[in-house]
A and B are shown apart, each in its own frame.
Chain A
């Protein structure tokens, strides 16, 4: 085992963190099985795995938020009893969680002080905390204003506050759980610079991610997790994305599907000066113009929360547009048109919603019932007053076969399928009617690498069949590998539409931050 070999060779300095035979189960589900892990001091160590592979559970065990069922945790060579996050903190472990643990109504200073106030009265510890923030920000280049309210900070700044919080007590092991999910490429780049500074000053960094590129970019070593187990350990310099992906999924995967050359024909779907103002009077979309042709995918890129959700919901008829118009296969929809998702659907538009749990499925319904959602009035469900249970079952079974939904069991509740298979149910339902206009939101969010490959292939097949597709995703790689043209949204406005061939990550990143195309290219 590479793990044992490593202990033998690195005997000079004790390992910063070591896990021996750690297991954890929730009820009947074994989340972590016999995990062995060795982190050397002063390195950036990656842990990669699909969603649900047990990475976050493992890190929560290390940080004391979950207690392990079995196994041993050693910090700097000594076995420790990790029962709460207070234990972890006292052993010099800091963690930046996937979802920030910050109080938005507090200042940076107050957030940093929380838990280590330094006395009964806040006055006593405030000076010391402020000094510590200044010290850390100088040492690690973490620029932040201690008196700013956290709710006024952007995501990158909030993350810096989290890092300062993690380091304030002199932590020398820093865990980051999916830290780049909410960052623009530039912000992610800045984060990596910070992590390198930390490493060079002796901090051991544990980076949890499902993004192969990040592992390859900055880690020194990597462990791969699959289904709750460590399935491999590699030195980053001695591995490749393809090998890591194969280890993650357990079989060979195509990391990037082949995008076919397009011959877009007529305009199927367009928006003119589209705007949306919400009920509080906040303008959420402004002057959006685009057209999607048959046989084309228009990708919509942007940092999450910049109007993508609103755009999707307005286009799908779930929200009522307040300005401009939408044209679907020649029919105009304006603010004075009565719309609802049903009317839009009848115009020929199909929709794979961003949030499949909220808008795509009814989790407490069986798969076969979910398979006819929105089609319940069609012949698919029976022609009379009663539902034709046999037909519904047959329909579901067929679609499950076609779209490789596992387990292929129509009577299972939707909530009991994995994320990828839930998404396949939605896709099977929406694709099977041969749509001519399709809205796709975050098609692979929370979906494992194997299913991503399948979903991407399906999307491209549909495009080749002549469907006009609008694709919204926060995964830049997904946008870049599928789209023919890319529209960038920032703050509810269209920053620009570019042909795929003319953009790179750098340009897109700058545009996502609001720079115009010309500036971004310059």
Chain B
């Protein structure tokens, strides 16, 4: 029993690690989509952020500089998306797909040119990455049963970016629902004409939403390559941007609900690696492919109307014409 609980705790711990980039990307997606811009380019921003963080950290030796450059790279991708589909009113999905392809190609090409390792970046030594933070009093809590273990495994011992991701959720909720910017953001995603007639700039609001999203995606990218891992590997985002977008839809464009969806998707993946080859009572061995496909399957079911009813921002996907 104790062993099972410990396994469960480790699974939750892994869930949080896996969910961190999802959470950050989902918050980015909420900003973009609440403003009326479909952001399928989360994936590309995540990937370019990961590459730039690892490359800059490897070249400069500063992981912090890597993070900052990752954010800049990701924001640049956001601005390209904005230029195509806000300024020039292009199709948002096509622009997003183009950015994903661009990121997928550029990261490898530049990677090969810089490091000549087949698209990978050099592995950073452990102390050159974002390090786990030991919280105060972990040692003394160890004597307390259960809580001590929870405190050590789940609460303490993550790197700073995990905590930033956790803070990003209430921050996003606060900005969206409690601030002037949030009110305008929600309005521009529902009825951009109302925003325009109130004397506000639809274009500038949507750009700002994308820029905020770019910042979050950049942090998520840095997490992949210089916190969770130690180098960049080609295509290392591996669909996380898409899963984050699925979480946004699953969470009905609400920060906390999307956060829970990220945790659920993260848990599915964490459980998958633990259940590999394990016979569960009654069910037998669970095919891991099925578990990994579950986020997508659930999202399709949701969109088909089998689980609740999604209520996307009314103006999503439509360029604003005066």
Check if A115 is an interface residue, CB within 8 A of chain B. yes
Q: A344–B182 Cα gap in the complex (Å)? A: 52
Check if B180 is an interface residue, CB within 8 A of chain A. yes
Write the nearest CB–CB distance from B182 to chain A, whole angstroms. Answer: 8
Q: Which residues, 49 to 94 on A, are CB-close (under 8 Å) to B?
A: 63-66, 84-90
Q: A86–B198 Cα gap in the complex (Å)? A: 7
**B158: A residues at CB distance < 8 A:** none
Please classify the interface of chain A as helix (H, G, I), strand (E, B), loop, or mixed, using the class held by over half of its residues: loop
A11-19, A105-113, A284-292, A364-372 - the one binding chain B: A105-113
Contact (Cβ within 8 A) B196 A123: no
Please classify the interface of chain B as helix (H, G, I), strand (E, B), loop, or mixed, using the class held by over half of its residues: helix
Q: Which residues, 162 to 215 on B, are CB-close (under 8 Å) to A?
A: 178-184, 186-187, 190-191, 193-200
Residue among A86, A87, A113, A122 making CB contact with B178, cutoff 8 Å: A122
Check if A384 is an interface residue, CB within 8 A of chain B. no
**Count of A-B contacts judged by CB separation below 8 Å:** 77
Check if B322 is an interface residue, CB within 8 A of chain A. yes
Check if A121 is an interface residue, CB within 8 A of chain B. yes
**A66: B residues at CB distance < 8 A:** 322
Contact (Cβ within 8 A) B180 A65: no
Contact (Cβ within 8 A) A122 B179: yes
Contact (Cβ within 8 A) B183 A122: yes
Contact (Cβ within 8 A) A114 B184: yes
Q: A196–B146 Cα gap in the complex (Å)? A: 73
**A65: B residues at CB distance < 8 A:** 196-197, 322
Do A89 and B194 form a contact, CB below 8 Å, given A66-B322, A110-B183, A121-B180? no
Q: A64–B183 Cα gap in the complex (Å)? A: 23
Contact with B along A485-513 (1 / 0, CB 8 A): 00000000000000000000000000000
Q: A97–B197 Cα gap in the complex (Å)? A: 9
Q: Which residues, 417 to 451 on A, are CB-close (under 8 Å) to B?
A: none
Do A106 and B187 form a contact, CB below 8 Å, given A65-B322, A85-B198, A95-B197? yes
Q: A476–B178 Cα gap in the complex (Å)? A: 45
**A85: B residues at CB distance < 8 A:** 196-199
Write the nearest CB–CB distance from A502 to chain B, whole angstroms. Answer: 43
Q: A114–B179 Cα gap in the complex (Å)? A: 11
Check if A103 is an interface residue, CB within 8 A of chain B. yes
Q: In the complex, which range does the number of interface residues on chain B fall in?
A: 20 to 34
**A165: B residues at CB distance < 8 A:** 198
Write the nearest CB–CB distance from B313 to chain A, whole angstroms. Answer: 9
**A117: B residues at CB distance < 8 A:** 180, 183
Check if A27 is an interface residue, CB within 8 A of chain B. no
Q: A365–B41 Cα gap in the complex (Å)? A: 37
Q: List the A residue with the shortest CB-CB distance to B191.
A: A103
Contact (Cβ within 8 A) A101 B179: no
Contact (Cβ within 8 A) B183 A102: no
Q: List the A residue with the shortest CB-CB distance to B201.
A: A84
Q: A63–B186 Cα gap in the complex (Å)? A: 24
Q: Which residues, 114 to 163 on B, are CB-close (under 8 Å) to A?
A: none
Write the nearest CB–CB distance from A86 to chain B, whole angstroms. Answer: 3
**A97: B residues at CB distance < 8 A:** 193, 197
Q: A86–B194 Cα gap in the complex (Å)? A: 12
Q: Which residues, 119 to 163 on A, are CB-close (under 8 Å) to B?
A: 119-123, 125
Binding site for A on B (CB under 8 A): 178-184, 186-187, 190-191, 193-200, 314, 322
What are 24 A-B contacts defined by CB distance under 8 Å? A65-B196, A65-B197, A65-B322, A84-B199, A85-B196, A85-B198, A85-B199, A86-B199, A97-B193, A97-B197, A101-B194, A101-B196, A101-B197, A101-B198, A103-B194, A114-B194, A114-B195, A114-B200, A115-B199, A121-B178, A122-B178, A122-B179, A122-B182, A125-B180
